[in-house]
Structure 1
Amino acid sequence: MLEIMKVTAPLLIVLMLAICAQAICFIILEQNAIDKHNLIDSEKLSSPNFFPALMNVYYLALGDFENTLNYTASKDSILYWLLFFFGTIFMMIILLNMIIAVMSISYEGIIEESDAVLVREKLNLMLEKEFFIKGAYEELAQTTNLVSFEVDPEVSENQEQANVMEEHFAQIKTEVDSLKCQMEMMTSRNTASNTISYTGFEKITQLIQNNEKKYEQ
Structure 2
Amino acid sequence: MSQSLTDQEREKRLRKKAVVDQRIAQATEERGVLILLKGNGKGKSSSAFGTLARALGHEQRCAVIQFIKGRKETGEFLFFKDHPLLDFHVMGHGFTWETQDKSLEQQAADQAWQVAEQLLGDDRYQLLIFDEMSYMFKYGYLDATVVAERIGNRPRHQSVIVTGRTMHRELLDIADTISIIQDERHAFRAGVKAQPGIEW
> 1 or 2, which has the higher helix percentage?
1
> 1 or 2, which has the higher strand percentage?
2
* TM-score bucket (shorter structure): under 0.3
The structure with more radius of gyration = 1
